[in-house]
Amino acid sequence: MNRPSYATDKVLKQFIKNALEEDIQDGDHSTLSTIPKDLQQSAKLLVKENCILAGVELAEIIFKTFDKNLIVENYIKDGEVAKSGDIAFIVTGSARSILSTERLVLNCMQRMSGIATLTHDWDSRLIGSKTKLLDTRKTTPNFRVCEKWAVAIGGGTNHRYGLYDMIMLKDNHIDYNGSITNAVKMAKDYVKKSKKKLKIEVETRNLEEVQEAIDAKVDRIMLDNMDVATMKKAVKLINGSCESEASGGITRGQLKEIATTGVTFISVGALTHSAENIDLSLKAVM
């Protein structure tokens, strides 16, 4: 699959630079003290449990950023099913370089594969419906690029990336402004004045707020912590005038039923904050 637009070379290089600096600082002394400088070796990425593999492309970028002479031979691509015992790739080159980047590669791939696997599982519950599964901003600080990328690899759809690429007026914005009507008017004035192309989404807590958001002519209405019966009424009220999004404590078991309401999206923070890491290891090829 194509790399998402937010995962630019610049963003990834900065992430990798910071991560390696955090880990290595003035040197990987375990490796420097025991591994000859000119020793050339290979290592295999071993999959130790069934999963949707993610982070393969990132792993190669990490290796190449640290040492451009490392060679990676891939056997499984991002988004493909991997089974316990599979070899995802073999990296060959400086033994020192392989050892110094091992943990960063594994940390990223284990986390990303966990998110991709969970997303794929949840998204499969929506097959046959038009509803799309969204992630949220409930991500690990400084690791968002990898976590959202993993959601995309797993078949989910990314919500806004951050605070800068969409206006989302949540309960506190609305309460501070006194009403949805006031908050949306200010947001629209801001968009016009700043000449930014930003969609406006409003969080609603009941049908009265849904109607107010419809009247304010927003791009998307979030149905927050509503039961299915109320969601159905809200979607009927909206009647295609804008997008709709179900959100708030949604579980896997609720997905199919929520999709029957006709909502455009279901957003789930659990995709990124509750996924379990997949067991992977980088083993020397002897």
Q: Which amino acid is at 265?
A: F
Q: Which residues are annotated as a binding site?
A: 103, 136-138, 160, 170, 203, 224, 247-249, 268-270
- Residue labelled with tokens 């969601």: 231
Q: Count the neighbouring beta carbons within 10 Å of the beta carbon of residue 142.
A: 12
And the tokens for 273?
A: 């904050």
One DSSP character per residue, 110-137 reads: HHHHHHHHHHHHHHHTTTTSS-EEE--S
Which helix or strand (DSSP H or E) is residue 203 part of? strand 200-204
The active-site residue out of 48, 64, 77, 138 is: 138
Distance CA 134, CA 246 (A): 10
Q: Does 233 participate in catalysis according to the annotation?
A: no
Alpha helices, H only, the chain? 9-24, 29-34, 56-66, 95-124, 144-153, 171-177, 180-194, 207-215, 228-238, 255-259, 270-273
Q: Which residues, 6 or more positions from 150, have their beta carbon under 8 angstroms from its beta carbon?
A: 54, 55, 111, 112, 113, 114, 115, 116, 119, 272
SS3 category, 53: coil
Q: Which residues are annotated as a binding site for substrate?
A: 103, 136-138, 160, 170, 203, 224, 247-249, 268-270
**Sheet containing 167-169: order of strands:** 132-134, 265-267, 243-247, 220-224, 200-204, 167-169
Supply the angle between the helices 9-24 and 144-153 in degrees, to the nearest 10.
120
Active-site residues, by number, are 138
